[in-house]
Amino acid sequence: MTTNRYLSGSFAPVTEEVTAFHLPVTGRLPDHLNGRYLRTGPNPLGVEDPAAHIWTLGHGMVHGVRIRDGRAEWYRNRWVRSTSVADRLGEPRRGTPVDERLDMAPNVQVAGLAGRTFTLLEGGIRPYELTYDLDTVGPCDLGATPEGYSANAHSVFDPHTRELHSLGFLYGSDHVQHIVMDAAGTVVRSTLVHAPGNPYMHDFALTDNHVVLFDAPVVFSAPHLSTGVPFTWDDTHQARVGVMPRAGGEVRWFEVAPSLVGHTLNAYEDGTDVVIDLVRHPEGFDIRNVGASRPTLERWTVDLSEGRVHEERLDDRIQEFPRLNPCYLARPYRYGYSAVVELYAPPTSPDDPRPDEGFSNALLKHDLLRGTTEAHEFGRFGAVGEGVFVPAESPTAEDDGYVMAYVHNPERGAADLVILSAQDFTGEPVARVHLPVRVPLGLHGNWVADAPGGTPT
């Protein structure tokens, strides 16, 4: 039995690629759901030093379920074939990377754009394109600029303007770049932003007129490269939030308490204020033990006229991976969804299904108008990660839709794709798609709808 929490329990990597058709379903899949639920995460092909391994390291593996006409047609999981993965598997290489030293199998995000599927990382590592069936096409130039930046893991698609925004950073650089692409993924403009100290800018936010940046005391550190985590906490680096016009221009910076913004839920404008809802990791953040940093949901209100930031706790529960109805991105909104994070005692045996640290057995629905929160719990050892909101076919309210997530089913020792009604959040799931294998806790994903008429995109 390994003593590393990230190689056992709900984080333990799977060792095989699986294809399964005609998946059993409990409940009823909504008829209008035609597309794929995709989620990625690190899944190492062997670990050189098990004692030093952490959960964010490992070659990217994408897990997907295709749903059409009320049926779950298939499940697939596939490693992204970077050059090192293809070589390790004894397969031909897919495409030619710009720089083999920066060629990795992206493991943070998977998304669809203009009929194509992409998996993304950050730090100047190029995205990879996948086929509809999740096979690797090769590295691609999504968001690539002459300065060496490209689309990062938290690229944001604005459904109102049909633009894809990205904030690229490079390890060892004192700049980041805001990159704007059209609906086809072509770069239409970019803006270099000075970021002294090379801070780790993992996420950002959009409003109708602004880009919101987060400068954190988590900074690039060359001595830490050997650990696989090339950044560390720097007490001398001031935490700041920056507000920049979408079209580019000067960034106005405002100091905030020492912290790292893990992920943003949403941002919008309220008169001269910029309101940002986000998950904040307090002083001393260490990616090796995310739960121990006790991240919570907060609201930062940037008063542009007075030049100050008001910080407010919205919910005391330890949580991460916030999502919303994407139709309300960059606009005033009411509801948000997130995953509970908890700490557990170490497992007592190799058969103990308990996740010893990570996302727990509950998803949250926040009503930010009323200041209330509902929790959907999946039972003991029902480990669940990020929940993705999918609007109903003809929605009549902001929360008229579904929340989808992979959930560990300890009775089967495998995962279910669970679909909750967002309006009946604590009720029985609308449907459970029973997968034939376990899906390790991972990172981010999306619902990628097929083109009208059910044609794969």
Cα distance between residue 27 and residue 70, in whole Å: 10
| pLDDT of res. 263 | 96
Q: What is the pLDDT of residue 356?
A: 43
- Residues 6+ away with beta carbon under 8 Å from 208: 268, 269, 330, 331
d(C-alpha 253, C-alpha 47), whole Å? 41
In this prediction, residue 224 carries a pLDDT of: 54
Contact 431, 29 (CB under 8 A): yes
Per-residue model confidence (pLDDT) at position 457: 43
The SS3 call for residue 134 is coil
**Quick one: pLDDT at residue 228?**
63
* CATH dotted code for 5-449: 2.120.10.30
Which DSSP helix (H) or strand (E) runs through 35?
A: strand 35-42
What does the pLDDT read at residue 216?
Answer: 94
| pLDDT block averages, 10 residues each, the chain of length 457 | 72 94 98 97 88 84 97 98 95 88 91 96 93 97 94 95 95 93 96 94 96 95 64 92 96 96 96 97 76 87 96 95 98 97 55 52 96 94 92 97 95 95 98 97 95 56
Only one residue has tokens 């994407």, namely 326
Residue 202 CB partners (closer than 8 Å, separation 6+): 122, 153, 154, 261, 262, 263
pLDDT of residue 453: 53
Question: What CA–CA distances, in Å, run from 15 to 12, 110, 130?
Answer: 10, 20, 20
Q: Where are the domains of the chain?
A: 5-449
pLDDT for residue 353? 47
Q: Which residues contact 302 (CB under 8 A, 6 or more apart)?
A: 212, 241, 243, 254, 273, 274, 275, 276, 308, 309
